[in-house]
Amino acid sequence: MFEEGQLYSAVTTDADGTVQVHLADNHPGLHDAAYLARRGEIAGVSLAHRAGEPVPHVDYTADEHAIWRTVCAELAPKHERYAHPEFLAGKAALGLPTDHVPQLTEVTERLEPLTGWSYTCAPGLVPLRDFYGDLGRRVFNSTQYLRHGSQPLYTPEPDIIHEVVGHGNQLASPRFAAVTEAAGQAGLRLETDEAVKFVADVFWFSMEFGVMADGDALKAYGAGILSSYGEMDEFGHIKIRPLDLHQMGTLNYDITAYQPVLFRAESVQHLEDVVGHFFATVDDDLAARLRAEAGATV
Ligand SMILES: [Fe+2]
């Protein structure tokens, strides 16, 4: 699993204005000079964007469109098999293109009439409070780059395929969109960094990596699972636990004790009742109390 917020590549600007993206040591594009240059170029497009201006377009290359096509083709049967019907209904309604990388403006054109969400661009990591603040206004910060072409079915970072195929399809469901907005509004409301982190961790184990019952079957609704080919083959073997806010909000504080675990909602209603209600009502005191009860030490 990529760890969002931890594995976004750092973006810096040199004195001469050149934008550089610093890939992790295990990134498949690390030694590909052309890929690195392209990542810098795309990050530069996002960096130049100012609030209130139209979201800039990226002129995607034939190779980038080919990666999008490959991943969409690989994911389609996986979605049919593993995705929860609520996600599939959103995906059908949104009707994202499968033959070309959509511009973020195209994603917004499709998504806004359905649930009121729009997409804006980000060069990489967006500070947690800014990211959640925008979610609270139904704005999703999205990267614009694509994963490395040598491994189209793998990405160590959240690329546009994750942001759009994972989150975009999810946000086309009015019910998932409402839970996501509630998380964002919690981020706007909370004052302590610890409380915002708690909300982000509950979000991680729900909207990013959540699984949900569908009759007797276990399906995925999390954007992280549904944008990654590998995750879907593996999630059936991962430890599954019932929704538990204490655990979801504190589990990855203790990295040494971390084991792959996913949290299971029994239905969309169950997700709304537990996670959605938590996002809608959490304040700094509640987050602190839940952390204390869970025995978090960080
Ligand atoms: Fe994500």
**297 or 53, greater pLDDT:** 53
Pick from 26-30, 118-122, 236-240, 279-283: least confident: 236-240
- Residue 44: CATH number of its domain: 1.10.800.10
Centre of ligand 1 to C-alpha 127, Å, is 14
Centre of ligand 1 to C-alpha 16, Å, is 32
Q: What is the pLDDT of residue 154?
A: 82
Which of 118, 148, 162, 173 is labelled catalytic?
162
Whole domain around residue 149: which residue ranges?
4-297
Q: Is the pLDDT of residue 114 over 90?
A: yes
Centre of ligand 1 to C-alpha 192, Å, is 22
Phi, psi of 217 (to 5 degrees): -90, 160
pTM over 0.75: yes
d(CA 211, CA 208): 9
Q: Give the total number of structural domains in the chain.
A: 1
**CA distances for 72 relative to 36, 228, 279, angstroms:** 24, 10, 32
- In 50-147, the DSSP E strands lie at 118-121, 139-142
Centre of ligand 1 to C-alpha 66, Å, is 22
Q: Is the dihedral of CA 162, 251, 247, 195 positive or negative?
A: negative
What is the signed CA dihedral for 4, 211, 239, 163, rounded to 10 degrees? -20
Q: Is the pLDDT of residue 254 over 90?
A: no
Is 227 an annotated catalytic residue?
yes
Mean pLDDT in residue range 256-273: 83
Task: Write out the H or E segment, with its range, that includes residue 97.
Answer: none
- pLDDT level of residue 237 (50, 70, 90 thresholds): confident
Is 162 an annotated catalytic residue?
yes
